Each structure stands twice: as structure tokens, then as C-alpha cells.
Structure 1
Amino acid sequence: MSDLEAPTEVAAEPAVEEVADEQFAFDVNDFPGGARSAIEAVLMVVDEPITEIALASALELPVDDVRAHLTALEEEYAAQQRGFTLRSVAGGWRVYSRSDYAPVVEKFLLDGQQAKLTQASLETLAVIAYRQPISRSRVSAVRGVNVDGVVRTLLNRGLIEELGSDGDGGAFLYGTTDYFLQRLGLGSLEELPALAPYLPEVDVLDEIAEQGRG
């Protein structure tokens, strides 16, 4: 009989996927406000319209249930005369300020025009101006940081606007506005200084963005 002891079995560590599944395991109906409040929480953090399928997948709910909750929320906001509403646009849902309060929102945004743009806003605006139409992911690839908040600021200032969506990924594309040209005293984009050669080409941006998602 051998004096060597049998090797001790070591419990295998859970796979990364299993840990992630446990971390995000939940039942939306267990939250204080239930599924409807969970949907609201997601809608508060999206910058682009989110589809019913995407919501259903994230919250593990049937698509029909999600659609019913969205419709109910829209009706609830209208009945309560809230300053915001839910709208279905571009194949998805997003929270918008109610049109009845447009004068208030417009005054707030125009008052904000007097504030100077931050360095981050100026850099993001430059990338969009020279590489438009361009998606937020490509702008982020150039700057090396998330630009969601900065893009919202530029949209609110009226310096950039949505120019449709990317046919491949469906992401919104952004470009500068006539107001942008007015503020710079330019007649057209062709009068922009020759800065473009210092920015990566579009195919390079795609490669960088793809690496960032890998």
C-alpha cells in the first residue's frame, strides 16, 4: 500500500459568466415599485430611444408586458400633468419634456448659452465638426473617454444635431448646426481651419471603437 496521500480535490472557481449571472440575477417584481418602476429606472439613463425588445431582455419580461407598462406610464404621466412624457420614436421609447413646457425649457437652454463651453465640450465639438456625420462611439474613440454627457450639452446648446442613424449599427449620427456656423462666423463647413489632417480617418475610428468593445 502506498504511503502517498491521494491528492486533495480543489473546488473549481465559478466561471466569469456564472458570477455575472448571479450578480445581475433579480426579479423585477420584487422591487418596491415592481416592473413599471424598473422600466422607469432604465429609461432615466438611456440617451437614445430603447426598443421594447431591449427592455424586455434586460428586465427578463415578455415584450407584450413591457409594451403594456410603457403605454400605462405614458397615460399616467399625462393624467398627472407631469412635465415629461414617454414617446415612441425611431423604433424605441424615450423620456422627453412635454411640449406644453417648451417656453420654460427654451428659456433655460438659451440662458445657458451664455456659459462658456468646457475644454471637453470644445474637443468633442471639434471632432464632430471635422468628422461629421459621426456616432458617439467614434467620438469617444478619438477622445478616449465617454462623451455621452458632453454630447447632451452640445445638443442642448443647439451646436450639434442628430443626422439620422448609422445603417450598420443603428447608432445616431451627429453633425453641427447652422447655429454652430453662426457662432463661429462661418458661411459653411468648408471655411473651417485645416485641422482635419490631425484627426484619425473614419476606418481607423471604426477599428479603435471595435477594440474598445472587445
Structure 2
Amino acid sequence: MSDEERRDSLADQAAAWVPPWERPRPSASTTPEAGSAAAESPETDEPVEFAPTTVAADPAEPVPAESAEPAFAADAGAARGVPRREPVGRRRATVVPQPAPDLPENELRGALEAILLVVDEPVSELLLAQVLEQPAERIGPLLDHIAAGYTAAGNGFELRRAAGGWRLYTRPEYATYVERFVLDGQSVRLTQAALETLAVVAYKQPVTRSRISAIRGVNCDGVIRTLVTRGLVEECGTESDSGAFLYRTTTLFLEKLGLNTVDELPPLAPFLPDDVEELADATR
């Protein structure tokens, strides 16, 4: 073959050459022998595809191929804020909180009695069960048993249901003794000065301390403090002109006198002297 014929042949081959990525893939009907032969042939231009393989940390426990995750892909996802996907077969175990063990009956009874001694209002069985971390079905029957035991023992107190909950109460047959103890020392009579000051506040309210002192003719600061401490008088703002504190009677005052409003106070005119106007002008 001459040099000119060789150049023509090489030119034809170069024009007819197709890159491997543009060539059609072999059909599914290709026999295994042909595929393996193509993979083993060093002269073929077809790309050879290899199955992904992974290396297990422990040779005795191979890691599945689908659980393998390239490190660079995980790092790139974390950099973009994408949450890391857990590999298949390595899911995190969900921690299930274990219920608290059942308390012995004696300990549970003591805990219930201790709580019931400090509550200031009826407490429900559900709240008791939540606090003690015990099943609610144990609380109700045990409270009934405790209440029955108090009644059988003849204690001065009892456990009973009230307002949807449970609370300790004194027994009605001992009410007179309880009242005597509670009211002892609280039935102190008001002094004459306190009664006069209270009357001025009741009929002139709202009124300032200076106005009360002017009506009574003496300083009444100490008496006002006493009435405020007893809960019979309270502050109710300030006077617009002088800024002095204003005082009025409280609901406890109405309760003690058996009144609904201050309008039910008896009229004061029958108890006033005939020259009250002159006395009022003299005090101004």
C-alpha cells in the first residue's frame, strides 16, 4: 500500500470514529459471555461499569451496599443545612421512658397524707397521680380506704370529697371547739376613738385624714393605722387638690355590721345636736 492510499485509509477511519459516550449502549439481549468478553477485552472502546463496593469496619459484619454514603456527600449536605440521612441498617434507637415502679401501699398512703396536710384547696385524684407518678386507678380506692379508716378511728378530722377533689376537714361535732380557738383573741373591742373615727369614715367617705382630724378635733393618724390593720378601712386614691390619701370602709366592715351597702347605714340626723352647723363652722 502506497503512502497516499495509507493516508486516505486513516482519514476515512478518523471521519467514521464515534466517541464512546455517543455510542449506543449494548442491548439487554447481550449474552453474559459477550458482556464478560467485552469487559475483559483490552481493545474495546466501550466503557466498563463496575458495581459499587464498600469496605466493612469489621470483616465479619459486612455493610450493605445501600448503607454506604460518601463522606464528601455528607459533608456537602451538612454545609448546605441539609440534615444527614441515617444509613440503612443503622437507625438510631428510640428511647421510650419507662414508667415509675409502683410504690408500696404504706409509702403511697404516707405520701398522700403528707400532701393533703399542706393543700389549701381540694386536690384532684389525677393531680395526685401525676405528682406521685402512680396510676390514677390506685389513688381513688386508696383515698376511700384512708377516709374510712379515719372515720372508724374516730379522729377529730376526716377526709372527704369536695369540689371535685379531696381535702382534710375537721369533724362537725368538734366545730364549737374549733370556733373557740379560731375566734380567741380576735374579738377585741374597738376603743371609743376607733369607733368615732370609723363612724366619720363611714359617713364621710371618701375622706382624708386631715378632714377626719378636723371633725374629731384631735390627730387620728394612729387610729387610722389601727383600722387599716384590722381591715375595716382602706385607701382609695388621692384627693385631686391636695394629693392627700382618701379612705373608705371595706367589705369586712359591711360584713361585720350585716349591711349590703353603706347606703343602709342608719340616718345620722336624729343623733346630731341642734347647733351642729355652728360647730361645723367653728372647726373650719
Structure 1-normalised TM-score? 0.44
Q: Which structure would you say has the larger Rg?
A: 2
Higher relative contact order (CA 8 A, sep 6+): 1
